[in-house]
Structure 1
């Protein structure tokens, strides 16, 4: 019995061993098949990846600025050279040049005698590592200043001529940074005695030509919307959130040393904030435009030291929208107001509309100005400067000469005025025939 039991146990153990061996063998084969399958699948994936052609990465294309098409019978020229939007324009005091600055890091100097030519060449001054937001010629036309967008300061560029070629060199040092808010405008007095900068808070700074702060003006207008130096170089004016325009006189002694800033006069009469204002060339007239939907013409040739206030000549409705710009022709005969992308030209004698230009630029008009000879009105807001014939100026000049002719007593004076009227009328008619 013991022998039989021993044999049975031996057989049972042997069967278990055989079963374990068979199970281990199958498990090993299954593992090898699975590993082979993974390897095969991996090779297939890699081969599939390698056979698929990878497209080279393309650099994103810069969207090309769309060209804004504009035409008008009075359009004299379209000045194109900047590759970025233009923010400011300024005519030289001798009338020979127009300066423009752009976010393309350049300042361009254009010759006004080329305005009526087919080609409009310009000189280029580079603004290294920055770009200019404002530009102004010096009174002697041998230099210009710019306000730097990133540097928040003024840089002076000197213009030099050698072998009939102009060059531009920046001064060794910029003006120190003084403003705490963004600068909205700069200016140079025609006398050359001071430089002005105005920021969007309530601050106006008066600088010496060497970059020293002579005076600080607090406009108390909540915020400044616009400020400028008068063409005569005596005054600085500002407007903003309040409904008035404030004007100060910058006083110097006989030896040229700075004395003080005194309040000269105010333009009061608008019922809402003033968007902008402009002086005539001799500062005897001013024009202002307001959010109240009106623009006003003022006589400012007054004895303000004797407390005499400016005289309101007339008020006219203005149906434009903000942002807006206003420009006064140097002879005081024409006022132009830019509203967003449109320009309306008014007679400063009657206040009536003389010309309307719609959708002049593809962006908001950033600057508007008359040349010193009253022949052209220029505007910008995109990458192009539009130059218009000042037809309203011709008509106003003809009207003035006709009034003078009625009052003339001598035959020589009458003959001279009649000839001038004929010449002016002929020039006016030619503007429309040529275009």
Structure 2
């Protein structure tokens, strides 16, 4: 497949980072101490804007990011400063600085746009409050230079990587920044980049007990790795695939906006586009004459921008890849996964009502077809169904049928997860809403605690007796220690066990 491209000439030294906002506006950062803005005209030709270059750093600029709402550009430099720029005027809004004054290597906005994370040579990961432009917390758990960081798509978690090769998962939802999990030797020669896919799952229950994400990292071992990140009481990072294709340090990896593609940039002068659902290599892009340092997709997947030590930015037109199927089947899959592809489009968001009906029939749940049709459940509505909406709105009383539909929806959104068991224990078949979020076992005496969540009575009493005044689910202080029996759930559990 031939991919056309444009070469952007403007920087006078290595291009270290590129970032897109929307489909036409690109920002780049370079060792020439500048940040430059590029914009595509109606014919798709990118040129520098009148605001370029943005000048304010005294040394090379190592990273640059657009805020999710495109109003701010953040740039981090070897001079130890993070500058926030007004995207529309190019003016400096504020300068932020790590307490040590050390070089800043990476930065990343939370998708909620409320926080910015930065890391660098001082081995600290700093979380900033964008509204107050002040530091929330400085984290020093790493014992090496911070080389990568990324927020989960719901802003609840933050992963950071270091030159020592480790990855750390942090709780970022409430600003607690508690380290939930550490993975040593994720890349044994050092982590260089990371990114979260936009596709994620919150498991179906009375509360967000667990969430599941697809995460990519890359490093000095010439590898791109795909990981399953699980958030919740048992937070973990587990390896899914090691992607081999580069013959040099992999400096950057970025998912496309919809999560259907993954790009990596490396010291072998290559850019590789991968299928993140099954880890296969789709295409190699050759055009740079030196190390490729960075890459990023436009929001519509029409373009891929890359930067290099050759001082150039290349804009690749990958529009003929943007409609690739997001969902894939694997041999030996379950009924839920084999029903992933119905007639019509393979992209679930484009499914018509008849496609959903065909999917239901493949799950042997055709008896519910009419109620789905009466309620106009197309692909978009399907992926937003919950246990509550199935029970109260669609009147599907059978717990088994609801669970089968919800497992099928989970497989549609994130097919890789259907092959991963939660633990070595054989609890994967248990309905999540019947299990205690502390013990992960089916409850005998479910009670509602002061945080509004339901637990096994013995487990939550032990939690409180151990001196904990905060919720196991939210880490916030519980308003009281009252435990009220959840009689409705107990009845459902008894019905489930009597089947």
Distance 1:157 1:244, change over 3 A: closer
State the match for 1:281 in structure 2. Answer: 198
Aligned pair partner of 1:403 in 341, 347, 355: 341
Structure showing greater relative contact order (alpha-carbon pairs closer than 8 Å, 6 or more residues apart)? 1
State the match for 1:100 in structure 2. Answer: 28
Aligned pair partner of 2:271 in 328, 332, 343: 343
User: Deviation per CA, 1:135-174, whole angstroms, max 9, x where unpaired?
Assistant: 2223332222222443x212222244xxxxxx32223x52
Counterpart CA distance in 2 for 1:113 and 1:235 is: 37
8 Å CA contact 1:225, 1:241 repeated in 2: yes
Deviation at 1:193, TM superposition (A): 2.0
Counterpart CA distance in 2 for 1:316 and 1:194 is: 31
1:298 counterpart SS class? strand
Matched, 1:239 2:200: no
Counterpart CA distance in 1 for 2:326 and 2:7 is: 26
8 Å CA contact 1:347, 1:392 repeated in 2: no
State the match for 1:212 in structure 2. Answer: 134
Deviation at 1:248, TM superposition (A): 0.7
2:47 counterpart SS class? coil
Q: Mark the runs of 5 or more structure 2 residues left unpaired by the alignment.
A: 201-212, 330-338, 359-377, 380-499
1:192 counterpart SS class? coil
Counterpart CA distance in 1 for 2:34 and 2:164 is: 36
Distance 1:319 1:78, change over 3 A: closer
**TM score, norm. by length of structure 2:** 0.57
Deviation at 1:118, TM superposition (A): 4.3
State the match for 2:419 in structure 1. Answer: none
Q: How does 1:52-91 map to 2 (within 5 A)?
A: 73-91=2-20
Counterpart CA distance in 1 for 2:47 and 2:20 is: 16
2:195 counterpart SS class? strand
Counterpart CA distance in 1 for 2:249 and 2:275 is: 21
Counterpart CA distance in 2 for 1:105 and 1:239 is: 25
User: Deviation per CA, 1:320-373, whole angstroms, max 9, x where unpaired?
Assistant: 212522222222222222221211222112222111123x32332221112222
State the match for 1:251 in structure 2. Answer: 173
Range that drifts further, 130-139 or 347-356:
130-139
Aligned pair partner of 1:157 in 82, 85, 91: 85
Counterpart CA distance in 1 for 2:232 and 2:357 is: 40
Range that drifts further, 263-272 or 325-334:
263-272
State the match for 1:374 in structure 2. Answer: 301
1:251 counterpart SS class? coil
Matched, 1:317 2:249: no
Counterpart CA distance in 2 for 1:245 and 1:128 is: 32
1:145 counterpart SS class? strand
State the match for 2:366 in structure 1. Answer: none
Q: Which has the larger radius of gyration?
A: 1
**TM score, norm. by length of structure 1:** 0.64
1:120 counterpart SS class? strand
Distance 1:179 1:296, change over 3 A: same
Distance 1:402 1:133, change over 3 A: same
Matched, 1:127 2:65: no
8 Å CA contact 2:223, 2:250 repeated in 1: no
RMSD: 3.5
State the match for 1:175 in structure 2. Answer: 96
Counterpart CA distance in 2 for 1:80 and 1:411 is: 50
> Between Structure 1 and Structure 2, which shows a larger proportion of helix residues?
1
